[in-house]
Amino acid sequence: MAPNKQKKYDNPFSATLTGIMDLFRKQVPAGELKPTDRLDGKTVLVDGASSGLGFAIAIDVARRGARVIMACRSGIPGQGEKVKKLSGNQDVHMLHVDFADINSIKSLVKNLSASTQAGSMAKIDILICNAGIVPKQSRKTLQGLEEMFMVNYFSKFIFVNLLIGNRCFSDSGTENLKPMIPRIIFVASESHRNPEKFEWVNFGKYQDYTIGKSIELYGYYKLLLTTFSVELSRRLNPGSTTNYSVFSLCPGPVNSNIAREAPKVFIPLLKLVFGIFFKSPANAAIPVVYLAASGDVEEKPFDYLFLMSRKAVDEKAADPGNGKQLWTMSEELWRKTDRYGLQ
């Protein structure tokens, strides 16, 4: 594990306090999400949409007229029905995925690819990679990886690469039928700044930990995710034309179910603190929906927001050498853990 120098997100208490303090820091908004930022005719896939932030994002984009695909592990079909009811939009669909299992991700992409090729489902215009966990302890996945590593980072590397490889995104610039450049949005966290360095020797290796280490590792996996987002934009947009917009953001502290695995004795206190100080999921969804729907960010190859403020990502995540190393190691790990490799 990478040692920390800032110690802001080391444990549940300092992480909660940092989240609260961040809300009171002066912000210069990058722009404004307007009621006129509509998504009519656009297909938005949001994952982890059964709860918290993802559920609120699904409602907001549905209200803006999008066809919504909620890729979820649980809550099917109930949460989708709620989104329909709360948004008044019936064009909401739910698909199952467990991001802890590579085979489940592959099934989802197969399903999406078959539906788009058959014409029963439009291609994806906006992908919102939102699912995430803070587990109370390490858990091994079916493929022998650590669950938080898998859900919070590695599943996104596999999912996005499979979607691109299987041509699931709308084709930008072809016959101007869908002039919007596809957008890929990652829900990351400011805690990505916490780790001091990458631990390449231990990359992808299963390691045991308990709740004390969980928050520290959470920041490390968000660093991997943020580094991936920058590298993805570099690879998808090699010249001066933007082929895909890749966005990443920290929504700030959200009153969601993220602390569901916290020790039982702390749950009433956490609920109280979250309820008083943290943002409601609907408010926290605003920067995500801004990146999904606003014309302000059109044709941008990359952007990172903290709440509504534009920020540079941590220099470790921006470093092309780290991006390349992460990509190479992720591909290698994928080959090792998936019998059929990269397809």
The residues of the shown chain that bind ligand NAP, judged by CB under 6 A, are 19, 48, 50-54, 73-74, 97-100, 130-133, 151, 187, 189, 250-251, 253-254, 256-258, 260
Query: By three-state DSSP, how is residue 316 classified?
Result: helix
- Reading the block at residue 222, the tokens are 């968000």
Rounded Cα distance between 26 and 36, Å, is 27
Which residue lies nearer to ligand NAP by CB, 19 or 80?
A: 19
Rounded Cα distance between 143 and 296, Å, is 41
Query: Shortest Cβ distance from residue 255 to ligand NAP (Å)?
Result: 7
Query: Shortest Cβ distance from residue 54 to ligand NAP (Å)?
Result: 5
Contacts of 166 (CB under 8 A, 6+ apart): 109, 110, 112, 113
DSSP assignment of 119-171, as one string?
TSSPPBSEEEE------SB--B-TTS-BHHHIIIIIHHHHHHHHHHHTT-BPP
Query: Shortest Cβ distance from residue 153 to ligand NAP (Å)?
Result: 10
In the chain, count of helices (H) and strands (E)? 11, 8
Query: Shortest Cβ distance from residue 253 to ligand NAP (Å)?
Result: 4
Query: Shortest Cβ distance from residue 177 to ligand NAP (Å)?
Result: 32
Rounded Cα distance between 57 and 192, Å, is 22
Query: Shortest Cβ distance from residue 130 to ligand NAP (Å)?
Result: 5
Please, which residues bridge with residue 95 across strands?
A: 71
Rounded Cα distance between 75 and 49, Å, is 9
Query: Shortest Cβ distance from residue 96 to ligand NAP (Å)?
Result: 9
Contacts of 246 (CB under 8 A, 6+ apart): 183, 184, 186, 229, 230, 232, 233, 236, 237, 301, 302
Which residue lies nearer to ligand NAP by CB, 213 or 324?
A: 213
Rounded Cα distance between 235 and 229, Å, is 10
Which of 227, 222, 246, 248 shows the shortest CA–CA distance to 317? 227
Which residue lies nearer to ligand NAP by CB, 157 or 237?
A: 157
How distant is the alpha carbon of residue 308 from its chain centre? 16
- Reading the block at residue 32, the tokens are 């404004």
Instruction: Calculate ∠ Cα 45-231-332, nearest 5°.
Output: 90
Query: Shortest Cβ distance from residue 238 to ligand NAP (Å)?
Result: 28
Query: Shortest Cβ distance from residue 55 to ligand NAP (Å)?
Result: 7
